[in-house]
């Protein structure tokens, strides 16, 4: 799973670079060109384009040949892209991470560690910020479109930890030469516009070479070679710098992660995009549907057959050609005159509607089948199906999601390593990233009534935590258990208060009936 998606010549070049641990201008140019022209980069571009509904059909031209030369046709040329890929990717992202990812600290073995765990939880929440779930969703979508997507960690000028999603088309990873499982370097390149002295924008590359200890910046110059970027005063630079104090008395302390600060999220073990299995089917659907629209528009007007008509040449009244005058009378008067032996008939094209409908319906079904998604327009979904039926409908999507979640958990493990390392460096603490637990809650459509009824029947058979973990309305089990404990404590206090009040009321009643505190006995001699 590392460099398997890269072309062989690029892998060899990257291995040589790993062994030399050095980057030069010629090498940068060769690596970028080899990467950009690889089949994998083209597949990434396809995934991105089809997610944005920029399909191959948009480049379609209707042409014909005359004496072996291709000529453009003036026929109708409808171009109808259908966003199946976007639907399937968004469906997968919503299924995997539609609910917030629950990040918690594993319960410590000793109660004395509870305070430390709570503090660690607070620091984690602070570092994740409010856009964690949004970044994760972007990460998932990118990996689905490009087979891999990268999360980059850095520290800004204020000393705050930041993380951003870097497009895989900007990243060339370099792994160890023997096992290909340890990330040694990352070459990140991107285009920027250099404004010349003449005010003309020239597109150039900027390159960042990230190692385990720092980063080296390069920039493309006029002859398209690369030199070290003089914009950076310190080049190479450490990964990040912490500043202590303000003004003249302030000090800075360089830091390095000890790792390359990039985390890959792989889509699957095959290094394949979600588009790859269904691209040909989507193209076929687009082509047939667009062709159908062309047929409808091309034959919207009837084709007239004029018997006895002498042709197109010759002038008629008011400057019209004979055929022009014929069509003018037909449009305005809805009537035409013909010679004694002439006639007008029409030919109406017969479009094979039924065959096209069957083809499109079958192709649509295959797109969702091989794309491992759920077609929400399916009549099986619309009828409030049972839980068992829903499980069958979601079986393919669930299988795809489960395989992806395995890759996701690996990526999240590395993600939280960087977060924890930063916290430890900044606070002088020694928190263990392995104590962080991240729970992914899948968002399947289900029959809530059936599930809740099953849970009610299982109340005395399984633990409360298990019940909550399977309850459709509960996202954070630990938080819900804390709320239940608080609710029970409140109820206990209220019941104790009620009991005390009842006991006080009983005491007051006894005091009213007998000053000595004894209940007054009935007088048997009293005559009724």
Buried b (16+ CB within 10 A) or exposed e, 441-468: bbeeeebeeeeeeebeeeeeeeeeeebb
Residue at token pair 């004029």: 306
Give me the pLDDT at residue 219, please: 93
Instruction: Report pLDDT for 451.
Output: 66
Over the stretch 258-296, which tens digit does the pLDDT of each residue have? 999 999 999 998 889 999 999 999 999 999 999 888 877
pLDDT in tens, 36-82: 988 889 999 999 999 999 999 999 887 766 666 666 666 778 899 99
**Nearest alpha-carbon partner for 123 in 411, 438, 414, 436:** 436
Could you tell me what percent of the chain has a pLDDT over 90?
37
CA pseudo-torsion sign 117, 122, 126, 132 = positive
Q: 250-265: per-residue pLDDT in tens?
A: 777 888 999 999 999 9
284 to 4, 44, 78, 81, 427: CA distances (angstroms): 29, 20, 14, 11, 58
Q: Which of the pair, 175 or 200, is modelled with greater confidence? A: 175
pTM of this prediction? Answer: 0.76
Interval 104-160: pLDDT, tens: 888 665 555 567 888 899 999 999 988 899 999 999 999 999 999 999 999 988 889
324 vs 31 pLDDT, higher one: 31
pLDDT tens figures, 94-110: 999 888 888 888 866 55
Which position has the token pair 């005058």? 325
Angle at 485 between CA 481 and CA 486, to 5 degrees: 115
Cα distances from 225 to residues 28, 54, 100, 169, 239, in angstroms, run 9, 33, 46, 21, 26
Read off the tokens for 437.
């637990």
Cα gap 113→179, rounded to integer Å: 39
Report the alpha-carbon distance of residue 124 to residue 115 in Å, rounded.
14
Tokens linked to 232: 């950076």
Greater model confidence, 85 or 457: 85
| Cα→Cα distances 516→261, 370, 411, 521, 522, Å | 83, 89, 78, 13, 16
Question: Tell me: the pLDDT tens digits for 404-448?
Answer: 999 999 999 999 999 999 999 888 899 999 999 988 888 766 556
Closest CA to 307 of 347, 355, 359, 334: 347
How many residues in total does the chain contain?
528
Q: Note whether 408 and 96 are within 8 A (CB).
A: yes
- Whether 311 shows a pLDDT value over 60: the answer reads no
Please give the distance of CA 322 from its chain centroid, rounded to a whole number: 62
The ranges assigned to domains in the chain are 8-62+74-275+400-438, 303-347, 454-512
* Helix extents (H) in 314-463: 322-333, 353-370, 379-382, 387-393, 395-427, 448-457
Report helix, strand or coil for 22: coil
Query: Is residue 41 classed as helix, strand or coil in its secondary structure?
Result: helix
Mean pLDDT of 190-219: 86
| Residue whose C-alpha is closest to residue 302's, from 324, 329, 322, 330 | 330
Position 27 scores a pLDDT of 86
């Amino acid at each position: 799973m590392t460099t398997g998606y890269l072309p062989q010549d690029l892998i060899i070049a990257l291995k040589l670079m790993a062994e030399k641990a050095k980057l030069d201008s010629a090498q940068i140019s060769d690596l970028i060109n080899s990467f950009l022209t690889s089949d994998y980069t083209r597949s990434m571009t396809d995934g991105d384009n089809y997610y944005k509904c920029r399909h191959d059909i948009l480049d379609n031209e209707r042409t014909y040949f005359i004496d072996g030369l291709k000529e453009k046709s003036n026929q109708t040329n409808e171009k109808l892209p259908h966003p199946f890929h976007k639907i399937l990717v968004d469906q997968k992202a919503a299924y995997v991470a539609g609910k917030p990812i629950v990040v918690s600290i594993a319960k410590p073995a000793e109660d004395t560690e509870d305070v430390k765990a709570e503090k660690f939880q607070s620091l984690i929440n602070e570092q994740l910020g409010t856009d964690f779930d949004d970044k994760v969703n972007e990460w998932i979508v990118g990996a689905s479109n490009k087979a891999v997507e990268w999360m980059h960690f850095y520290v800004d000028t204020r000393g705050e930890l930041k993380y951003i999603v870097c497009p895989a088309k900007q990243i060339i990873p370099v792994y160890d030469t023997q096992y290909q499982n340890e990330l040694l370097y990352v070459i990140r390149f991107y285009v920027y516009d250099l404004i010349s002295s003449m005010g003309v924008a020239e597109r150039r590359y900027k390159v960042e070479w990230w190692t385990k200890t720092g980063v080296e910046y390069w920039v493309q110059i006029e002859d398209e070679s690369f030199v070290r970027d003089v914009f950076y005063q310190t080049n190479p630079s450490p990964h990040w710098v912490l500043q202590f104090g303000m003004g003249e008395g302030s000090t800075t302390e360089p830091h390095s992660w000890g790792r390359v600060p990039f985390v890959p999220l792989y889509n699957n073990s095959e290094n394949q995009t979600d588009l790859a299995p269904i691209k040909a089917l989507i193209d076929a659907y687009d082509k047939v549907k667009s062709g159908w629209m062309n047929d409808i528009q091309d034959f919207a007007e009837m084709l007239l057959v004029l018997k006895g008509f002498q042709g197109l040449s010759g002038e008629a009244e008011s400057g019209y050609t004979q055929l022009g005058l014929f069509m003018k009378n037909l449009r305005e008067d809805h009537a035409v005159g013909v010679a004694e032996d002439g006639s007008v008939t029409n030919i109406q094209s017969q479009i094979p509607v039924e065959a096209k409908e069957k083809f499109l319906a079958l192709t649509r079904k295959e797109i969702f089948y091989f794309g491992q998604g759920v077609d929400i327009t399916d009549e099986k979904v619309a009828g409030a199906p049972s839980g068992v039926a829903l499980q069958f409908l979601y079986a393919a999507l669930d299988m795809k999601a489960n395989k992806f979640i395995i890759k996701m958990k690996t990526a999240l493990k590395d993600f939280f390593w960087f977060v924890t390392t930063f916290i430890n460096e900044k606070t002088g603490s020694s928190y263990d990233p392995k104590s962080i637990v991240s729970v992914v809650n899948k968002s399947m459509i289900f029959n809530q009534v059936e599930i809740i009824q099953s849970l009610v029947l299982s109340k005395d058979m399984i633990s409360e935590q298990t019940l909550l973990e399977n309850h459709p309305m509960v996202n954070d089990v630990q938080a819900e258990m804390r709320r239940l404990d608080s609710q029970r404590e409140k109820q206990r206090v209220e019941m104790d208060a009620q009991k005390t009040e009842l006991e006080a009321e009983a005491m007051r009643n006894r005091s009213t009936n007998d000053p000595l505190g004894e209940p007054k006995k009935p007088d048997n001699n009293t005559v009724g």
